[in-house]
Structure 1
Amino acid sequence: MTKIDFKLNVFSLSERLYPMVARLLGDSNTEDAIQEIMIKLWQKRKKLENHPNINGFVILTARNYCIDLLRKKALVLEDSSSELKVLKSTINAEDIEWKELNNIIFKILEQLPQQQKEVFLMRDVDGYEFTEIAAALSIKIEHVRVLLSRARKQIGVALEKKYDYERGTY
């Protein structure tokens, strides 16, 4: 793989990695981590040349790098609560409602099985395609769809239960 091919096919994906890496490592380490990931991918460029799913391989490499880094530092994975919060300079009723909803969703996410939570975050927060998620988690696309469907259903049921309870109808 030439320098130009690498830049077009791999390095161009670095912006798509940013949300996932930021969620896993925290915003302060994200740019350094992406730089290290790109170095690792450059070293593996011969493997990438004939790989059938370059996007999936790049996401898998990034995810594994973040997990390895977290294991070395013995840290807990940072949740994407920062991704779910609505931040505005002025506080009004709508802001309070959004913050409350985000807190409720954050609590629901904590109760989901790890794979469901990860698939939900990668698809609905980070915006990855099903093929990329499947490659990153080493599972079939159909399984990704099932996990996402179950996660969304559980979140929906939990939200409905919460709001029905607050209205006094549950």
Structure 2
Amino acid sequence: MKKNHVSASTDEKTLIAKLIDGDAAAFEFVVTEYHSIMLAVSRAIVGEAFADEVVQEAWISAIKALPNFEGRSSLKTWLLHITSNGAKTRLRRESRQLSLDDGWQAEPGNKFDHTGHRIDDVLPWNVDTPEALLENDQLRQVIEHSYQQLPANQRAVLTMYDMEGFEMTEICNILDLSSSNARVLLHRARTALHHSIDKYRES
């Protein structure tokens, strides 16, 4: 396998050409750049037990499909789309949580702003961010348990938007969701976590 210098300054078209050409440095670069976020997306959908396996399969699928990559999206979005599709397929196969064909789509609505916040939300998400709340060990356990109990679709959107900093348009492209569906799922996930936090504080 060839190995040439590849860095963050390498343009994506050149990077993809190097990957197709079997350049080892190019492959090492994309793995370093994207493996962790692919793992985060996979873990959000299928959980810890199958996340690594899903990502390994996603890399294999991506390498095979690279010659047909048309560049309609960024390489990152393309890789994460492959990862999310593989994770959803694995989730169906393992029959965990819910049928994504039914549960991945939520009812649309017009009660959310462009950031995914509910306009009339009585618990503004920015007041108590996950990062601030996790400083408390006991509360960390409550939040983690609540997070793991979220339906896979809600967990994936929450992870990508609030924890990984994806734009809503990216999330919709990666998870095959409409903007309204993604906002509803994000609100449901946040509401569930806030409900768990409120119960903890009241106990």
Structure 2 length as normaliser, TM-score? Answer: 0.53
* 1:144 maps onto 2:166 in alignment: no
- 1:52-131 to structure 2, matched below 5 A, reads 52-72=73-93, 74=94, 76=96, 97-98=136-137, 100-109=138-147, 112=150, 114-125=152-163, 127-130=164-167, 131=169
Aligned residues: 145
What secondary structure, in the 3-state scheme, does the structure 2 residue paired with 1:45 have? helix
CA distance in 2, matches of 1:141, 1:44: 27
Per-residue CA distance 1:131-153 (angstroms, 9 max, x = gap): 33212221134543443234223
CA distance in 2, matches of 1:104, 1:20: 21
CA distance in 1, matches of 2:171, 2:157: 7
- Relative to structure 1, the CA distance from residue 15 to residue 5 in structure 2 (aligned partners, 3 Å threshold; closer, same or farther) is farther
Which of residues 48, 51, 55 is equivalent to 1:26?
Answer: 48
Per-residue CA distance 1:69-119 (angstroms, 9 max, x = gap): 4444x3637xxxxxx9xxxxxxxxx99x51x31332244346655532331
Contact 1:59 1:132 in 2 (8 A): no
RMSD: 3.7
Unaligned runs of 5+ in 2: 1-15, 98-129
Contact 2:142 2:196 in 1 (8 A): no
Report percent identity of matched pairs. 21
Structure 1 length as normaliser, TM-score? Answer: 0.60
Q: Match of 1:129, as an amino acid?
A: F
CA distance in 2, matches of 1:40, 1:102: 36
- Relative to structure 1, the CA distance from residue 144 to residue 67 in structure 2 (aligned partners, 3 Å threshold; closer, same or farther) is closer
Unaligned runs of 5+ in 1: 78-83, 85-93
